[in-house]
């Protein structure tokens, strides 16, 4: 298990929810934190909380879907922290509408933040990790990256993309000998942060607490886990995919997935 003392960590979506909790967990491990979010007030609150734990913490207001903004902020971060050891791509949004009710702008926003944000940040910080053959990228995906659901077509698409990207990049880095750069794909079920307010949990799948998810992420990073999937029932999705499509759809419907977003309100 690797130590995080003195490591420099970049976390997106760090103003609230699991982003904030992950930042505090890394700070308790004596890692320095670069915090990215669009919410300046809450971002600065997270910075103060991390600083109180006697580590260096800096906040950067940035829209992760803007390459120009990310490139500028990445330059500032490299100047302040020198090397970046861990990148946590956590920023995300959900529209929660049937596909026919989604505007082009809705879909673009979801894909730009949830997926392209991950791409842009990874392009900003991965090259230096490859040169050193040392680093760690953590992509916060979702169980929705394994299973399609009604009213979440754009969200599922963004998370399927994130899972596929993480798998492909992991294999690519190994192929070219960059085995010191690790990747972790985090795929939790719904988290009680308000982002999915009104969501009806599936049978046998309780909504996860952000504290639990943040703790599992930290553990996964320290153990260099390729995947952190939670809870256990989510791991069974891959076996559902072995059945014919008609049976898959029947299982998903009877788990409650078809009704899960009926009372969705979001933040």
Tens digits of per-residue pLDDT, 51-67? Answer: 999 999 999 999 999 99
| Residue 168 scores a pLDDT above 90 | yes
- Tell me which of 60, 104, 155, 189 is the catalytic residue: 155
Average pLDDT over residues 143-147: 93
Which residue's entry shows tokens 């059945």?
243
* The pLDDT value given to residue 197: 85
The pLDDT confidence band at residue 75, using thresholds 50, 70 and 90, is very high
Q: Where are the alpha helices (DSSP H) in the chain?
A: 17-28, 40-51, 67-81, 104-111, 117-132, 153-175, 210-222, 237-240, 245-255
| Residue 143 scores a pLDDT above 70 | yes
3-state secondary structure of 249: helix
Backbone angles phi, psi at 20, to 5 degrees: -60, -45
| Residue 203 scores a pLDDT above 90 | no
Average pLDDT over residues 71-81: 98
Average pLDDT over residues 131-158: 96
Q: What is the 3-state secondary structure (H, E, C) of 72-89?
A: HHHHHHHHHHCCCCEEEE
* The pLDDT value given to residue 194: 81
Percent helix, percent strand, percent coil in the chain, to nearest 5:
50, 15, 35
The pLDDT confidence band at residue 28, using thresholds 50, 70 and 90, is very high
Residue 181, both tokens: 């750069």
Domains of the chain: 8-255 (3.40.50.720)
Average pLDDT over residues 164-187: 98
pLDDT top residue among 255 and 134: 134
What is the model's pTM?
Answer: 0.94
- The answer to whether the beta carbons of residues 170 and 139 sit under 8 Å apart is no
Q: Is 212 a catalytic residue?
A: no
């Amino acid at each position: 298990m690797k130590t995080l003392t003195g490591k420099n960590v970049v976390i997106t979506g760090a103003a609230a929810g699991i982003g904030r909790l992950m930042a505090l967990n890394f700070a308790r491990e004596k890692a320095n934190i670069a915090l990215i979010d669009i919410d300046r007030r809450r971002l600065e609150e997270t910075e103060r909380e991390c600083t109180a734990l006697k580590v260096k913490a800096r906040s950067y207001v940035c829209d992760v879907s803007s390459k120009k903004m990310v490139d500028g902020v990445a330059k500032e971060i490299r100047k302040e922290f020198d090397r970046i050891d861990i990148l946590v791509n956590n920023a995300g949004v959900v529209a929660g509408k049937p596909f026919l009710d989604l505007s082009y702008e809705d879909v673009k926003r979801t894909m730009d933040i949830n997926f392209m944000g991950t791409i842009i940040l990874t392009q900003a910080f991965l090259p230096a990790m490859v040169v050193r053959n040392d680093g760690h990228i953590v992509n916060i995906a979702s169980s929705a990256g394994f299973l399609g659901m009604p009213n979440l077509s754009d969200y599922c698409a963004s998370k399927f993309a994130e899972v596929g990207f993480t798998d492909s990049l992991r294999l690519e880095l190994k192929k070219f000998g960059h085995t010191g750069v690790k990747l972790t794909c985090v795929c939790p079920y719904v988290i009680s942060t308000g982002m999915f307010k009104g969501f009806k949990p599936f049978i046998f799948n309780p909504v996860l607490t952000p504290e639990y998810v943040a703790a599992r992420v930290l553990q996964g990073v320290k153990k260099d886990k390729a995947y952190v999937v939670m809870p256990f029932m989510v791991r069974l999705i891959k076996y559902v995919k072995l059945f014919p499509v008609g049976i898959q759809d029947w299982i998903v419907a009877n788990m409650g997935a078809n009704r899960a977003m009926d009372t969705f309100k979001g933040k």
